[in-house]
Amino acid sequence: MDEDLKKLLGKTANAIRQLSMEAVQKANSGHPGLPLGCAELGAFLYGSLLRHNPKNPKWLNRDRLVLSAGHGSMWLYSCLYLSGFKVSLEEIKHFRQLHSITPGHPEYGMTEGVEATTGPLGQGVGNAVGMALGLKMLAERFNREDFELFNSKVYCLAGDGCMMEGISSEASSFAGHLQLDNLILIYDSNHICLDGPTSECFTENTKARYRAYGWDVYELDGYDFDRMESLFGELKKKQDRPVFIELRTVIGKGSPHKAGTSKAHGSPLGSEEVVLTKDALGLPKEEFYVPQAVLSYFEQRLEKDEGCEREWNELFRRWAAAYPELAEEFKQMKEKHLPDHLEETLNQVEIKSPIAGRAASQIVLNALAKHMPQLIGGSADLSVSDLTMMKEYPILTANHFGGRNIKYGVREFAMGTITNGLSLTGMFTPFCGTFLTFSDYMRNSIRLACLSHYQVIYQFTHDSIFLGEDGPTHQPVEHLAALRAIPNLHLIRPADSHEVRMAWIAALRYHGPTAIILSRQNLPDLAQTKVPYEKGMALGAYIVKKEKGAPDFTLFATGSELSLALEAAERLEKIGKQVRVVSFPCWQLFEKQSSAYKESVVGGNLGVRVAIEAATDFGWHKYIGQDGIAICMEGFGHSAPAADLAQEFGFTVDAIVERLLADE
């Protein structure tokens, strides 16, 4: 490496150290260890290696840097500030403060240059795999001879905790299987975790593990700029598979009394130690000081970064002129265009009744795939059962990234994080599927999708005890309530094929995550649900049977229990009772309606309020009141045929009517 550049990057590294430790100290909260230990890496990545444009952080062919070890966020914020992203010095000084754009762990959409919301360790590894996969898919779709639109790389910085969390194993195994040659995982190996030395809890041969996954593996001194330049330079010229780099560093490097110890990990150094560290590093006493030479260098680099995008834009212009049909597909994907007359199109799709929710959803999914090139997805080894396969399109393989069906294997958590990463490419609407009970494996990835409003769609099938003989290990009971509890998640449990159609419309229109909850067993189509989207599903809950006089009972139901509620209502009316029935497929959409509409559905004197759902009653009393009747599950299910379970747990017309009349 040129000596002048090496000196400049050394000054940049120390600027990263000073900004980071002082911001953590000012906040009296944070993790100084990683920023101090990985400062040279940050200086090299942002000062020399990454091809991006801080003035346009969404440039599609940019290199991406994902900080999986999100606790080291001040490292990232310092790098973003120096590079010219919209992270000011004032925001650095407001690290971890209310309404700042420098929160304790990076959040996508809040801070320009943050590629993914990270914090729970290891999730960034999965996100990076998803991004790399998405870029490989885009390259296969759109690259042509002499027009290499997509050739960027995804870099991910992970720590010991990321390596210990199982998600890194799932995601890395999958990346090795697909031989993702645009992914580089950098492991900050400093032998220290929050609780002490890793020798007390983590002694595996991580490099051997990654070789077993099918990755190329390297070691790198975290303070050797010459070796960084040569290694990453070689990888830019030629990379055949995912790369794992064990970066040997010293946590808290520069701190006289805390470097190399867990004391540098998760707590401020302390004001006295900050002064001593600055003295040891030869830094000025002025707080938040950045040498003018560093600022000038990054200003010049910014011009180069903008030039890279201008060159790409010109390439894109010539490509679009040469391939107008591809350019139109590109535009459709970029704009997430929905089919014209979407509702009319789906209503024309033939679906024969009775039919399982999962089967109806597959028919809808296959119809949508013809009109939506951005729609991609897959399943955790269950596509033949959760019915997520798009039949007219191939399976994605290491030799064919043009496929639109992804086989994730039995890796639910990785599937969730990879799906998030695919969404973050900005060009896809990804979905993924598994049984509802296994959503527990995915929960942390679902939560981050909700936090950051990623548009992803979950097809969760086998939605209740009525999946039958597989028994209570597979029968979800608490899962509807657990997922409904996550802010920003639209959970939709459709009652028949018409509501399935409308559920997909809702999911495609929502700029956030949606879970569509589907039955294994066949369900009858209901005449009462065949209403326009805006008068039914869009409202979250709607009246499917109106009472003629003051109601004696109001029955709220979702999914397979809606037909049961309608049958019970018919039986009750034969003995002179007035009954209202409400289909309640999506609580979250209902809560977004006007007060007047909500009052018209669930307000006033509704007689005895009854919730009918083959799941725990948690949450239902908001709508039925403390005196309402919850015909729900009070424990786990059993292994038995669905009809026997219905009898056992009171989900029959006779049992419901008897229960209501007894409590009247």
Catalytic residues: 412
Distance between CA atoms of residues 393 and 618, nearest Å: 41
Chain-centroid distance of CA 257 in Å reads: 39
Distance between CA atoms of residues 587 and 621, nearest Å: 13
Helices assigned H by DSSP within 517-574: 561-574
Would you call 590 helix, strand, or coil by DSSP?
helix
Distance between CA atoms of residues 144 and 639, nearest Å: 55
Phi, psi of 580 (to 5 degrees): -105, 140
Work out the number of other CB atoms within 10 angstroms of the CB of residue 580.
22
Residue 300: DSSP 8-state: H
Work out the number of other CB atoms within 10 angstroms of the CB of residue 453.
15
Question: Given the DSSP bridges, would you call strands 457-461 and 429-435 parallel, antiparallel or unpaired?
Answer: parallel
Question: Given the DSSP bridges, would you call strands 522-523 and 355-356 parallel, antiparallel or unpaired?
Answer: antiparallel
Q: Let me know: does 635 contact 654? Beta carbons within 8 Å.
A: no
Distance between CA atoms of residues 100 and 71, nearest Å: 16
Q: Based on the number of CB atoms within 10 Å of its own CB, is 226 exposed (0-12), middle (13-18) or buried (19 or more)?
A: exposed
Angle at 659 between CA 657 and CA 662, to 5 degrees: 105
Largest interatomic CA distance in the chain: 93
Distance between CA atoms of residues 532 and 510, nearest Å: 17
Q: Can you name the residues that pair with 216 across neighbouring β-strands?
A: 243
Q: Let me know: does 185 contact 129? Beta carbons within 8 Å.
A: no
List of residues 6+ apart from 100 with CB closer than 8 A: 91, 94
Angle at 347 between CA 341 and CA 349, to 5 degrees: 110
List of residues 6+ apart from 205 with CB closer than 8 A: none
Instruction: Dig out the tokens for 536 from the structure.
Output: 């039914």
List of residues 6+ apart from 423 with CB closer than 8 A: 130, 429, 430, 449, 454, 455, 456
Question: Given the DSSP bridges, would you call strands 192-193 and 196-197 parallel, antiparallel or unpaired?
Answer: antiparallel
Q: Let me know: does 378 contact 408? Beta carbons within 8 Å.
A: yes
Work out the number of other CB atoms within 10 angstroms of the CB of residue 241.
17
Q: Let me know: does 357 contact 559? Beta carbons within 8 Å.
A: yes
* Sign of the four-CA dihedral 393, 398, 402, 406: positive
Residue 397: DSSP 8-state: B
Q: Based on the number of CB atoms within 10 Å of its own CB, is 234 exposed (0-12), middle (13-18) or buried (19 or more)?
A: exposed
Chain-centroid distance of CA 191 in Å reads: 30
